[in-house]
A and B are shown apart, each in its own frame.
Chain A
Amino acid sequence: MSSLSELYQNVILEHNRSPRNFRPMTDADRKADGHNPLCGDQVTVWVKLEGDVIGDVSFQGAGCAISKASASLMTGAVKGKRREEADALFDRFHRLVTGTLPAGESETLGKLAVFSGVSQFPIRVKCASLSWHTLKAALEGGSPPDRPIA
């Protein structure tokens, strides 16, 4: 398989075409905007919390296939997870896309393992991680959508 087809795996292409949870959330508890000033990619992430658990999560934005599919798959991966589980998942995901996750550990990422090809394209790491950074910002300091983000 060429490195290009490792980058654009079918799951990624499919999520790019039909992103999941691609909608604004009117009753969200938290919201954050993320953007990459270098390439102009932009994403907004909404979160509804049930105590410490991510009850619902959605996103909207404009970006490349990698950033859109990553956001889409992220929403599926973190829904129903406790915040610290989501943090730990991001940590492993980040090590996957930067090529520092030990071989064998990528299975623990489930569907997110389709992003392993990103590690061969260092400039695309920021595309894959933009939505995760934005989710983290929402969980840590994001404000409800009706209030300006501090």
Chain B
Amino acid sequence: MTATAFPTPTPSATLALDVERLREDFPILSERVRGKQLVYLDNAATSQKPRAVIDAVTRFYSAENANIHRGVHYLSERATIAYDAVRGRVARFINASSPAEIVFTRGTTEGINLVAQSYGRSTLRAGDEILITGMEHHSNIVPWQMVAAQTGATVRAVPITDAGELDLDAFDRLLTERTRILAVVQLSNALGSINPVRWLVARARERGVVTLVDGAQSAPHLPVDVQALGCDFFAFSGHKVFGPTGVGVLYGRSELLERMPPWQGGGDMIETVTLEGSTWALPPARFEAGTPMIAEVIGLGAALSYVETVGREAIGAWEEELLAYATERVGALNGVRLIGTAREKASVLSFVVDGVHPHDVGAVLDDEGVAIRAGHHCAQPVMQRFGVPATARASFAFYNTRDEVDTLVRGLRRVRTLFA
């Protein structure tokens, strides 16, 4: 008996995804656009939806729709159970210690605004500092600028290096006795850099600084364990993790959520209401005023189940291989410059083509059926840092293939020819 006759699966073989089969789970991937097969490389903007998610939302509206937490009837009871069950699924997905630490929001942006306006506004004082970084999405810049203007606090930013990594020496200098909040992205949407969030959070916590991690891009691509990260808050969006638009998650450590005042008032977030005043429900209900996005939450639950079934390690391994292949192929093209060459990267390939504006790159690729993003990616400080008005960005998901990367490369050759 030889090893050849009974091959032992190698680690990569056990992790290998059957990408062609998985693609069949996504109805939109077989669509044609502008007469060409769709090549969807705009996953950092939003991901496509598997049939399991589409069906879950359709089934809810077709057979289960009712409002939650307020009916005695059968459907309301069913909807309430289904909605609240997703909290547990999300808690497992990010390894929160309790479903009570999961607040449903409209998305990452709303989660960050909630922390800024509830925790930030109630605790920040004049002279305090909020530390962010130079690679944040506008959604992790503007809410802090707003609460800084309201409280007299100051926003400071950790600079980034030419490769697109955080300047960690500068981070250490900027983390001072005045710092109250650290808000940092785990995986940059504009550069693809993976930040050493665990280390950053640990440094901040040594100084008693409250930490928020923007997980909008990391949740779909990297395994997330909020307890291992040690962060106080973690925000992500449903639609980037193959779920519906209009739903997101804010994880907050119970100890903090319990001390925080409500952000919005209304139904479902109260304990008692009189015309003289009201008392608040416990978290997470305290932060979910009004009828929430019930169908979307149920769709999110289906999305997270789907991702776990595919396997997050296998997803990570395939995406790493795909990004390496795309980086090599696109990076080898004459007149193409990659923006963001951090050692640790995932899922995002930002680049500029000499003499061609990214919008024109995007338009030519679109004519080939290739969907990429062209623009500042809601990260204008990153564009300013690299001295470009915009970049073209291809961003991958586990359902993308090497063939699709090849189509991208052919499209980029056409860009060079057309604008030569």
Interface residues of A (CB under 8 A from B): 2-4, 7-8, 13, 16, 38-42, 62-66, 68, 121, 124, 127
Contacts and interface: CB of A to CB of B under 8 A. Distances in A.
Nearest to A61: B389
Contact of B376 (A4, A8, A39): A39
Contacts of A127: 359
B363 A40 contact: no
A127 to B, nearest CB: 7
Interface in B348-397: 356-360, 363-364, 367, 374-376, 380, 383, 389-390
Ranked 8 nearest A-B pairs via Cβ = A64-B359, A64-B357, A4-B367, A62-B389, A40-B376, A65-B360, A40-B389, A64-B360
B419 interface: yes
Contact of A13 (B376, B390, B419): B419
A17 B418 CA distance: 12
Contact of A40 (B34, B356, B380, B419): B380
11 contacts: A4-B367, A39-B359, A40-B375, A40-B376, A42-B389, A62-B389, A64-B360, A64-B363, A124-B359, A124-B363, A127-B359
Nearest to B364: A4
A101 B360 CA distance: 25
Interface of B: 34, 356-360, 363-364, 367, 374-376, 380, 383, 389-390, 418-419
Nearest to B361: A64
A93 to B, nearest CB: 20
B359 A8 contact: no
Contacts of A64: 357-360, 363
Contacts of A38: 375
B339 to A, nearest CB: 14
A40 B367 contact: no
A124 B383 CA distance: 21
Contacts of B375: 38-40
Given A8-B363, A13-B419, A16-B419, 12 more contacts: A2-B367, A4-B364, A39-B359, A40-B390, A62-B389, A63-B359, A64-B358, A64-B359, A65-B356, A65-B419, A66-B360, A121-B363
A68 B364 CA distance: 17
A124 B356 CA distance: 16
Contacts of B363: 4, 7-8, 64, 121, 124
A8 B363 CA distance: 10
Contacts of A124: 359, 363
B42 to A, nearest CB: 14
A8 B374 CA distance: 17
Contacts of A13: 418-419
Contacts of B374: 39
Nearest to A16: B419
A127 B358 CA distance: 13
A40 B418 contact: no
Nearest to B374: A39
A8 B361 CA distance: 12
Contact of B383 (A8, A40, A66): A40
Contacts of B358: 64
A121 B359 CA distance: 12
A41 B364 contact: no
A3 B35 CA distance: 12
A63 B358 CA distance: 9
Nearest to A121: B363
A80 to B, nearest CB: 30
A14 to B, nearest CB: 11
B418 A39 contact: no
Contacts of A63: 357, 359, 389
A39 B390 contact: yes
Nearest to A62: B389
Contacts of B389: 40-42, 62-63
